[in-house]
């Protein structure tokens, strides 16, 4: 008979190779359809062969000869054949439906050698699956096994030929290939492997003892490992990996749910209606057909059920290496972590209230169905207890009070069938499960936030290391504390600065060029949403730069972030203070961050407190301050380290006239000391009085830069000019030209002195 089985394999291999090579030559566009067809035929052969009976090798213990095997070595080889065959066949079944860089190498270097080895050792494989009876009389499963081997060998050979230019791997690609190969083999691990390979060990996992905990650890280790390896891979790679694991999980689960079990005398107890059992079917089907709505049922309901099953296992008196133990835990591992991993990897989005609500409705329907099924099927087998709604497994673990809930019984008959329900116990079960599901949802979200936070930190640290290395190269031996660009040590420079949020196609700011020199007050104007705050937040380091660069006193904001921030004092449009502190404590805290000496901070704080009339309130908690007083504290904190670049975003909001005058005086004095004052405001009159130059931004693009003194000398109104620009008038950027920067600086100082007297009268 073995020759006949070989014939099935030869026909399968020849059909694949001849069809594939013919299509490759004459109809290459149809080749992908052929590959998918061969994959589905292989899947069908595997399905029927597997479901028609048990593996002969599953009943062998510790490699002891028997079941047709006369040699322990052949048993070990047979175990490897069966195990690795499932890995190779699942690769062959899925490979045609995905375009992933590593797949051709996995088929060529993993699946093809496995199929070839199984073809050579085919009789041993037949013995492992069907037993010695298959050698004396025709066995359908042995014929299907021959077809599987031939189809697999033909498919892997043809796939390798067609994708020959893609199977070469370079350097680190071998590492990822090795990890993927190990993962593929690991996922196909048969639940009976320990029983076949080693002597029974009489250790019983129960009640959180060492052996129970040992079996719980993989429930955390496996998903974390998979997440770390896959989180930055493509969507296709993630989906392929999850489908591969999910379908092999279903294959392993079906070890105890074959056709013979469904149609045998105990069929009423073996139907896959337990809640965790439904997950084994739902997850692969949802991944394959992208059934998002159905998926969230298993996400909210099955995960919780599997978790409770893992911590309260119903495995009876089985030792740690028994097949039943590993079958139970491997199935519940999948039911527990697969839905969480699918969402964590972004294959399906994180659920919202709508998905939770519909999942609860679905669970309620399932719950009522199981109540009826339990009560009905008990007439045929008293041990029926789907989802533990009929028996006392749960209440036994909770104590007397729980057992008493089963004292409320409702029984009736329909014809010769008896129906028994436990209304109080079953209602409480439903309500508690609702509560647990909602609580687990919160825990899931917390877990995702923590993991995403860790990954973000890791990515940032990686970027910091790369940036530091690049910075050291650019500095060419100079200290990291020195400015990267020594020519701009007294300037604020934006060079083609661009900012885009997330994956949006709309740019918040596009190709912004700007240069602000020391000694000037620079006004930054534009309507709401024009990009002013985006530029300011990028200068001070609150948000990242998409493209281009920003330099603060010669320091690159992206590459020398700490050094750049030391040069900046920032007054935001919406302050955020530690209001339980006093103003003195808060400002001292800021001074500590900037390493300001006690002598300097005390001197500056005293002078600013007197100027802003806060001396008597310095030691009061900030929460007792008015809005205007809090704004003053923000300004004082920004100046405590005497920054070279003082950036103010709408700083005058909420201030009284005297305080506005004092802020303007601070701005003038700060600029006259050779520093930069970068001032954003909607109050055109104030900008016109105190600024030396202005820039106007509209729709994310800087429209022009103008010298305010030149405009004033020409009798040009800043307000009218601003309105014409934001309404879309064509303008040409104008800069101060013709004089040296020293001459310009002296001229501006003189104009400020003249304007100061006029402002004092106006204020």
Q: What pLDDT is attached to residue 573?
A: 83
Q: What pLDDT is attached to residue 365?
A: 94
In a domain, 224, yes or no: no
- Range 557-561 average pLDDT: 88
Rg (CA), the chain: 37
In terms of DSSP H, where are the helices of 96-191? 103-106, 112-120, 122-130, 140-162, 172-187
Residue 506 binned pLDDT confidence (cut-offs 50, 70, 90):
confident
Mean pLDDT over the full length of the chain: 90
**DSSP 3-state assignment of 507?**
coil
- Range 677-685 average pLDDT: 88
The answer to whether the beta carbons of residues 88 and 111 sit under 8 Å apart is: yes
- Range 511-535 average pLDDT: 92
The answer to whether the beta carbons of residues 291 and 303 sit under 8 Å apart is: no
- Least confident range from 451-455, 581-585, 614-618, 743-747: namely 743-747
Q: What is the pLDDT of residues 360-393, one digit of tens each?
A: 999 999 999 999 999 999 999 988 999 889 888 8
* Torsion sign (Cα): 155, 157, 159, 161: negative
Residue 453 binned pLDDT confidence (cut-offs 50, 70, 90):
confident
Nearest in space to 325 (alpha carbons), one of 167, 418, 216, 427: 216
Q: What pLDDT is attached to residue 658?
A: 87
Count, in order, helices (H) and strands (E) of the chain: 32, 12
Q: What pLDDT is attached to residue 750?
A: 47
In a domain, 253, yes or no: no
Distance CA 677, CA 644 (A): 8
Which has more confidence, 302 or 729? 302
In a domain, 143, yes or no: yes
Q: What pLDDT is attached to residue 111?
A: 97
- Range 648-673 average pLDDT: 88
- Range 637-649 average pLDDT: 94
- Range 590-600 average pLDDT: 94
The answer to whether the beta carbons of residues 39 and 95 sit under 8 Å apart is: yes
DSSP sequence for 374-394: HHHHTTT-TT--GGGSSSSHH
Q: Is the model's pLDDT at 763 over the cut of 80?
A: no
Q: Is the model's pLDDT at 286 over the cut of 90?
A: yes
In a domain, 167, yes or no: yes
DSSP sequence for 249-301: HHHHHGGG-SHHHHSSTTHHHHSS-SHHHHHHHHHHHHHHHT-HHHHHHIIII
Domain count, the chain: 2
**DSSP 3-state assignment of 168?**
coil
- Whichever domain contains 746, its CATH number is 3.40.50.300
Per cent of the chain over pLDDT 90 is 67
Given 169, 199, 229, the domain boundary residue is: 199
| Both structure tokens of 476 | 């060419």
- Range 201-230 average pLDDT: 92
Domain that holds residue 704: 486-567+643-762
Q: What pLDDT is attached to residue 731?
A: 60
Q: What pLDDT is attached to residue 730?
A: 60
In a domain, 11, yes or no: yes
Distance CA 131, CA 58 (A): 11
Distance CA 535, CA 546 (A): 11
Residue 608 burial by Cβ neighbours in a 10 Å radius (0-12, 13-18, 19+) = buried
**Phi, psi of 305, rounded to the nearest 5 degrees:** -60, -40
Q: What pLDDT is attached to residue 360?
A: 93
Q: What is the pLDDT of residues 56-113, one digit of tens each?
A: 999 999 999 999 999 999 999 999 999 999 999 999 999 999 999 899 999 999 999 9
Given 199, 220, 244, the domain boundary residue is: 199
Q: Is the model's pLDDT at 476 over the cut of 50?
A: yes
Nearest in space to 724 (alpha carbons), one of 734, 716, 712, 714: 716
**DSSP 3-state assignment of 27?**
coil
Model confidence pTM above 0.85: no
Range 506-526 burial, b when 16+ CB lie within 10 A, else e: ebbbbebebbbbbbbbbbbbb
Q: Is the model's pLDDT at 264 over the cut of 90?
A: no
Residue 451 binned pLDDT confidence (cut-offs 50, 70, 90):
confident
| Both structure tokens of 679 | 């001032």
SS (H, E, C) 549-571: EEEECCEECCCCHHHHHHCEEEE
The answer to whether the beta carbons of residues 238 and 346 sit under 8 Å apart is: yes
Q: Is the model's pLDDT at 197 over the cut of 60?
A: yes
Distance CA 424, CA 442 (A): 27
Residue 430 binned pLDDT confidence (cut-offs 50, 70, 90):
very high
State the Cα angle at 687 between 681 and 690, rounded to 5°: 130
Edge-to-edge strand ranges of the sheet holding 568-571: 568-571, 645-649, 676-680, 521-525, 693-698, 701-707
Q: What pLDDT is attached to residue 366?
A: 94
Q: What is the pLDDT of residues 338-349, one digit of tens each?
A: 999 999 999 999
Given 143, 165, 199, the domain boundary residue is: 199
SS (H, E, C) 687-735: HHHHCCEEEEEECCEEEEEEEHHHHHHCCCCHHHHHHHHHCCCCCCCCC
Residue 757 binned pLDDT confidence (cut-offs 50, 70, 90):
very low
Residue with tokens 């305010």: 708
> What element of type H or E holds 496?
strand 491-499
Nearest in space to 94 (alpha carbons), one of 241, 235, 254: 241
Q: What pLDDT is attached to residue 732?
A: 53
């Amino acid at each position: 008979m073995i020759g006949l089985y070989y014939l099935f394999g030869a026909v399968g291999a020849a059909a694949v190779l001849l069809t594939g090579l013919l299509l490759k030559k004459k109809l290459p566009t149809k080749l992908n359809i052929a590959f998918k067809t061969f994959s589905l035929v292989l899947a069908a052969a595997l399905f029927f062969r597997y479901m028609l009976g048990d593996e002969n090798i599953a009943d062998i213990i510790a490699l002891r000869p028997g079941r047709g095997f006369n040699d322990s070595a052949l048993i070990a080889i047979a175990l490897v054949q069966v195990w690795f065959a499932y890995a190779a066949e699942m690769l062959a079944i899925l490979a045609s439906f995905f375009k992933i860089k590593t797949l051709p190498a996995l088929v060529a270097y993993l699946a093809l050698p496995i199929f070839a080895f199984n073809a050579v050792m085919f009789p041993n494989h037949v013995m492992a699956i069907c037993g010695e009876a298959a050698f004396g009389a025709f066995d359908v499963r042995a014929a299907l096994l021959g077809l599987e081997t031939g189809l697999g060998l033909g498919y892997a050979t043809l796939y390798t030929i067609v994708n020959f230019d893609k199977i070469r791997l370079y350097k680190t690609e071998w590492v990822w290939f090795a990890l993927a190969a190990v993962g593929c083999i690991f996922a196909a691990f048969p639940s009976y492997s320990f029983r076949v390979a080693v002597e029974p060990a009489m250790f019983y996992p129960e009640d959180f003892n060492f052996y129970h905990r040992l079996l719980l650890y993989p429930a955390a280790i496996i998903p974390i490992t998979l997440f770390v390896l896959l989180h930055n891979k493509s969507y296709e790679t993630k989906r392929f990996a999850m489908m591969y694991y999910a379908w092999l999980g279903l294959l392993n689960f079906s070890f105890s749910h074959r056709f013979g079990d469904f149609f045998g005398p105990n069929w009423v107890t073996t139907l896959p209606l337990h809640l965790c059992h439904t997950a084994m079917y739902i997850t692969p089907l949802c991944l394959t057909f992208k059934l998002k709505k159905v998926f969230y049922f298993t996400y909210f309901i099955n995960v919780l059920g599997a978790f409770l099953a893992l911590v309260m296992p119903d495995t009876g008196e089985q030792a740690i290496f028994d097949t039943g133990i590993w079958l139970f835990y491997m199935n519940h591992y999948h039911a527990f972590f697969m839905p969480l991993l699918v969402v964590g990897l972004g294959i399906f989005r994180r659920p919202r209230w709508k998905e939770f609500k519909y999942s609860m409705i679905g669970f309620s329907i399932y719950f009522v169905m199981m109540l009826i099924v339990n009560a009905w099927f008990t007439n045929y087998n008293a041990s029926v207890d789907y989802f533990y709604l009929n028996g006392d497994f749960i209440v036994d673990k909770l104590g007397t009070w729980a057992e008493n809930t089963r004292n409320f019984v409702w029984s009736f008959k329909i014809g010769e069938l008896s129906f028994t329900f436990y209304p109080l116990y079953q209602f409480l079960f439903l309500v508690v499960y609702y509560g647990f599901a909602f609580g687990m949802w919160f825990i899931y979200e917390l877990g995702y936030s923590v993991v995403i936070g860790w990954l973000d930190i890791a990515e940032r640290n990686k970027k910091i290391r790369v940036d530091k290395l690049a910075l050291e190269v650019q500095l060419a031996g100079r200290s990291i504390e020195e400015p990267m660009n020594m020519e701009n040590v007294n300037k604020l420079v934006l060079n083609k600065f661009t900012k885009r949020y997330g994956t949006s196609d709309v740019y918040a700011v596009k190709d912004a060029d700007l240069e602000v020199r020391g000694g000037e007050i620079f006004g930054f104007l534009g309507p709401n949403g024009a990009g002013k705050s985006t530029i300011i937040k990028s200068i001070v380091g609150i948000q990242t730069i998409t493209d281009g660069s920003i330099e603060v006193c010669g320091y690159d904001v992206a590459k020398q972030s700490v050094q750049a921030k030391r040069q900046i004092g920032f007054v935001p449009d919406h302050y955020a203070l530690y209001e339980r502190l006093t103003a003195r404590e808060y400002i001292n805290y800021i001074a500590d961050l900037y390493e300001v000496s006690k002598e300097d901070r005390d001197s500056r704080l005293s002078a600013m407190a007197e100027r802003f009339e806060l001396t008597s309130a310095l030691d009061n908690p900030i929460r007792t301050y008015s809005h205007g007083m809090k704004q003053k504290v923000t300004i004082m904190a920004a100046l405590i380290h005497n920054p070279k670049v003082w950036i103010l975003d709408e700083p005058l909001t909420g201030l009284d006239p005297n305080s506005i005058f004092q802020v303007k005086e601070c701005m003038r004095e700060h600029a006259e000391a050779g520093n930069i004052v970068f001032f954003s405001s909607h109050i055109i009159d104030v900008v016109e009085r105190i600024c030396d130059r202005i820039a106007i931004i509209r729709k994310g693009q800087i429209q022009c830069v103008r010298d305010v003194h030149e405009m004033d000398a020409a009798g040009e109104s800043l307000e009218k000019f601003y309105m014409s620009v934001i309404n879309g008038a064509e303008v040409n950027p104008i800069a101060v030209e013709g004089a040296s920067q020293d001459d310009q600086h002296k001229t501006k100082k003189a104009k400020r002195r003249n304007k100061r007297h006029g402002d004092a009268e106006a204020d």
